[in-house]
């Protein structure tokens, strides 16, 4: 399936909690394929259904281009470590913007697979940061919400300067972005 248009910050869909997936079947599998295809096209590590305008609790993560994407339906954090780690983060919904964010260094999370079977997994290091980042997105917490007010304001100022030229280059390249007000 083709990659879908990305939702661009500050689209209000990025700050709304996603709806739990209740129906497991062909529709969910098609959505996961769309999220996976869009993740590959965007050269992203993680992507949620809200990034493509679908308010469903679906995450696809692929830590490297050689790796098979992993799908997590209705993921939720079950445990976070007391120890923390700081990693650089960004979002396909705010291209070119990156900042360092401190999060728990290790997590345990629950999720369902495409058939609805429930699983638990653990992650540490950068994968733990990616899992938390994507679950935040599903909870309506955009990554910049984790920054101090001063860092967030500086980042938004930089983004406001590059966004118009970025939108023009996407339009010229035939790609589309969904933009919010």
* CATH number of the domain encompassing residue 55: 3.90.45.10
> What is the residue range of 115's domain?
12-179
Tens-place pLDDT, residues 9-35? 999 999 999 999 999 999 999 999 999
Rounded Cα gap, residues 8 and 162, in angstroms: 13
Tens-place pLDDT, residues 37-96? 999 999 999 999 999 999 999 999 999 999 999 999 999 999 999 999 999 999 999 999
* Number of compact structural domains in the chain: 1
Query: Would residue 95 count as lying in a domain?
Result: yes
Q: Give the C-alpha distances (Å, rounded to integers) separating 51 from 15, 31, 55, 66, 172.
A: 11, 12, 9, 22, 21
What is the chain's percent helix, strand, coil content, to nearest 5? Answer: 35, 30, 35
Q: Which residues are catalytic?
A: 134
Which token pair is 65? Answer: 């281009």
Which token pair is 100? Answer: 């360092």
């Amino acid at each position: 399936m083709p990659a879908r248009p990305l939702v661009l910050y500050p689209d209000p869909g990025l700050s709304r909690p996603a709806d739990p997936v209740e129906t497991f079947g062909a529709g969910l599998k098609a959505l996961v394929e769309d999220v996976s295809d869009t993740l590959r096209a965007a050269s992203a590590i993680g992507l949620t259904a809200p990034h493509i305008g679908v308010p469903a609790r679906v995450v696809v993560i692929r830590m490297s281009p050689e790796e098979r994407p992993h799908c997590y339906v209705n993921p939720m954090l079950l445990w976070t470590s007391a120890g923390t780690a700081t990693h650089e983060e960004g979002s396909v919904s705010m291209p070119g913007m990156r900042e360092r964010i401190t999060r728990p260094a290790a997590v345990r999370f629950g999720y369902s697979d495409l058939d609805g079977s429930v699983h638990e997994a653990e992650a540490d290091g950068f994968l733990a940061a990616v899992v938390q980042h994507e679950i935040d997105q599903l909870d309506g917490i955009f990554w910049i919400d984790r920054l101090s007010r001063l860092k967030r304001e500086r980042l938004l100022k930089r983004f406001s300067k590059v966004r118009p030229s970025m939108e023009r280059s996407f339009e010229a390249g035939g790609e589309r972005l969904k933009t919010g007000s």
